[in-house]
Amino acid sequence: MLTRNFADRLNPRCGEAFEASFDLLDFKQPTAVQHFGASIIYETIRNKWEDCIANERIATGIKGALIEKLTLGAHFQNQSVTNKLSSSLALFALYCLPDVWPEPVQDLTGLWAGQPELLLRVLAELAAEFHHVQMPLKQRNLVKSSLHRMDTVSLPSDFESDSSLVQLIDRSFPPFVHVRRDVMDVIELVLLSGDASPSLKNAAIECVEEWLRLPSMGLLQWQPILKIVLTNALNDL
């Protein structure tokens, strides 16, 4: 309640307000302070999203700061802080669909190819936070359609199960070729990778679970992924 009341008093039209919140995320701050700052940002995005994305400078600043904090801090900051920042970025991305930030999955996949677990956590939150968005029905349907739009790219014919995940992503999606990098592709690459850690595979499975909870999400299009999940589960017995 304290976080929500504090967030309500922030004026998102003023860049200094968000800057003050991000100052609380300084890695030198105690964990409780960082989590408080992340919670303020999340509540402000949720309750004042129209003002957040209406100002291009503020929207760019929010996006850049969240990505930077996650990129630099994912390996050592408290998990609760990372989780709240992941939720904040996912919620912000949803409110930016389909015009302000049309391809968050592609952009984040290219950015975090070397941090696949962080990528999967944020992609899972992208689906989970859809249930929390508060917007007119027409816009909500547009966002849902954007999430459902998945033009799957097939795995390369020379795929090897023990290939390095980073090398595989780089080879499958060359940086200068315009190719859709969708959620199912990322999950498939992880689940078929022989050197993926248990925590990374768990992140992939959690991502599957969250995306299957999306309204009107069909099981048929996820059938190849579900087969891999079940096969891996049987092999682990």
Buried b (16+ CB within 10 A) or exposed e, 98-125: eebbebbbeebbeebbebbbbbbbbbbb
Q: What is the percentage of the chain residues whose pLDDT exceeds 90? A: 60
pLDDT bracket for residue 13 (50, 70, 90): very low
pLDDT reading at 163 higher than 50: no
Cα angle for residues 187, 142, 172 (degrees, 5° grid): 25
- 0.85 surpassed by pTM: no
For the stretch 136-146, pLDDT in tens is 999 999 999 99
* HSE value, Cβ hemisphere, 13 Å, CA-based, for 149: 14
* Alpha helices (H) in 75-191, listed in sequence order: 79-96, 104-111, 116-128, 137-148, 165-172, 183-191
Mean pLDDT of 181-210: 91
Mean pLDDT of 111-132: 95
Phi and psi angles of residue 90, each rounded to the nearest 5 degrees, phi first: -65, -45
For the stretch 56-83, pLDDT in tens is 988 999 999 999 999 999 888 899 999 9
pLDDT reading at 151 higher than 50: no
- Which region among 115-119, 121-125, 148-152 has the lowest average model confidence (pLDDT)? 148-152
